[in-house]
Every structure is written in structure tokens, then in C-alpha cells.
Amino acid sequence: MIMFDECNFDYSSHGFKEYEQDGICLAEMNVDKDCNFKKGIYRIVSCDNLFICNQNIKKLKQCISKYLQELFDYLKIKKNATILLCGLGNENILADSFGVRVCDNVISTRLLTQKYCKYKLCSFCPSVSANTGILTFDIIKGVAQQVKTDVVILIDSLLTNNAKRLGHSFQLSSVGMAPGGAFGQEKEICFESINVPCITIGVPFMLDIKDSKQLNDNLIVTPKDIRLYICRCAEILGDVINSQITTLTKEEIKELKFGF
């Protein structure tokens, strides 16, 4: 899946706007009816430095959290709802392992005493069809039905045409996605296909270089320090999701768990 504002469509008619707030770059778009873009809301949060300034990271988390709450409100997700978080991608390929690493940083609260939790979250990683022999779509649809989830959150690595965005931009939307969609694979996971509202969150870790003179086909490249960016972005997003579903820390949650 590629960043929404890099698609070859005119998005100016959908109220697209970009602005900066306390050193954080924000992009917003609302689509009222299906056209070149599916109906829904689209958001991007970008920060140039993820490793030095803690104040910037705090503001970045606040912006992502604000947009995530906007998505919950837009989809009418009520408190104590069941959330199924899916870490998409292939954990054996570093650039595609972002979703898996976010799951490692998230607290699953579905089986905990609910007075400590704002939402009942369960999480899992369906891997990729090349490893399992099962379409990711079929796995997620089946699990969503089994746990009777109120919303599915899909986490995945994205593709970008802008090298400055690699490992620096968080895209959120309410329209679902097709795993491996940048390469034309898999079925789309969205409300229309699984009958459950879907939120997608992704960070671009792959750069699409078109018209390479050395190669006949397009070239997909990643940053040389991609491991650092993957781990940092997964930690940031994990912290945001944890703060959204509970006020407790990971240590406090572990003390309340039973049967594990």
C-alpha cells in the first residue's frame, strides 16, 4: 500500500490540507463518497527526528493518538468495544516486519479485568500467504468472526515515492487495505469484505524507485539503518495504542493477568 497523497489522483477537491504543529507535519483528508479514493478519513503524521528530541516524540505520540481517537469516533467505536489488532507482514523480511513488531509492543487486554481497560484488545500476526498457504484475508475474517470484534486494526509496512518519509511518517485511515497491495497481491480487508469496520495504520519502510536506468523493472529499496527505524516506530505506535486502551503500564498489566 502506498501513501495516499502519492497516488496519481487529484485529492485537492477532498479538502486535503497540510500544516505544521510544534515541529510535527500533519496531513488530513476527508472523503465523503467513493471516487478515486474510498469514502473515509485519511491522516498522516510525520516527524523528522525520532531518536534525539524526547519532546518531539511526545508531541508525535499525541498527534497519532488524536487521529486514532478521530477514527474511533468516525467509526462509532464505543468504550469497552472489542478490538482485533492484526500485525501484517513477513517477520522474516525486516522491511515487512513492522506489523509484527507493533504486536510485540502492544498489551492485549481482552481477558483482563475490564475495570482497568477502556477497550478489550486482542492481537495476532497472520504472517503471509507464502508462509501459511492461507490468504491473510481468510485468516483475519475467520478470527474477527470468532472473537466477535467491533473493529479491526491493520498494521503494515507501506511503500513511498519520497525517501524523506522512510521511517518518519505514520499514515492512518478508515478504509482498510489489501496486504501486499503495493505488489498487487491478496484480497482487500475492509468493511465491505468482512462486515467489520477497519482501521489501517502504516509506516513507509520501502522506497519505490521508478524508471531505474540500471534495471528494466522498478526497484524497491530500504534504508540501511532500517532495523533502528522499525524498532523505534513500533515502540512509538505500541505506546500510543496502549495508552488508548488502558491507563496501566505493561508491568501493572502483567500483575493482573491470570492463567498465563
Q: What is the pLDDT, as a whole number, of residue 109? A: 86
Give yes or no for residue 66 having a pLDDT over 70: yes
pLDDT cut 90: percent of the chain above it: 51
| Residue 127, all three cell numbers | 504472517
Most confidently modeled range among 31-40, 97-106, 202-211: 97-106
Q: How confident is the model at residue 212 (pLDDT cuts 50, 70, 90)?
A: very low
Average pLDDT in the 106-132 region?
A: 86
Q: What is the pLDDT, as a whole number, of residue 155? A: 97
Q: State the CATH number of the domain containing residue 23.
A: 3.40.50.1450
Cell 485537492 sits on residue: 12
Beta bridge partners of 218: none
Q: Who contacts 259 (Cβ-Cβ below 8 Å, separation ≥6)? A: 111
Closest CA to 137 of 91, 168, 184, 179: 179
Q: What is the pLDDT, as a whole number, of residue 184? A: 52
pTM summary value: 0.89
Rounded to an integer, what distance in angstroms lies between the CA atom of residue 121 and that of residue 118? 9
Q: What is the pLDDT, as a whole number, of residue 9? A: 58
Write down the mean pLDDT value for the chain: 85
- Of 225 and 139, which is predicted with more confidence? 139
Domain membership of residue 191 as a residue range:
4-256
Lowest mean pLDDT among 1-5, 104-108, 161-165, 190-194: 1-5
Give yes or no for residue 170 having a pLDDT over 70: yes
Q: What is the pLDDT, as a whole number, of residue 216? A: 53
As a whole number of Å, the end-to-end CA separation of the chain is 36
Rounded to an integer, what distance in angstroms lies between the CA atom of residue 218 and that of residue 14? 30
Tally of domains within the chain: 1
Q: What is the pLDDT, as a whole number, of residue 34? A: 67
Q: How confident is the model at residue 8 (pLDDT cuts 50, 70, 90)?
A: low
Which H, E and C letters describe the chain, residue by residue? CECHHHCCCCCHHHCCEEEEECCEEEEEEEECCCCCCCCEEEEEEECCCCCCCHHHHHHHHHHHHHHHHHHHHHCCCCCCCEEEEEEECCCCCHHHCHHHHHHHCCCCCCCCCHHHECCEEEEEEEECHHHHCCCHHHHHHHHHHHHCCCEEEEEEEEEECCHHHCCCEEEEECCCECCCHHHCCCCCECHHHHCCCEEEEEEEEEEEECCCCCCCCCEEECCCCHHHHHHHHHHHHHHHHHHHHECCCHHHHHHHCCCC
Q: How confident is the model at residue 259 (pLDDT cuts 50, 70, 90)?
A: very low
Lowest mean pLDDT among 49-58, 203-212, 214-223, 226-235: 214-223
Give yes or no for residue 215 having a pLDDT over 60: no
- Of 105 and 35, which is predicted with more confidence? 105
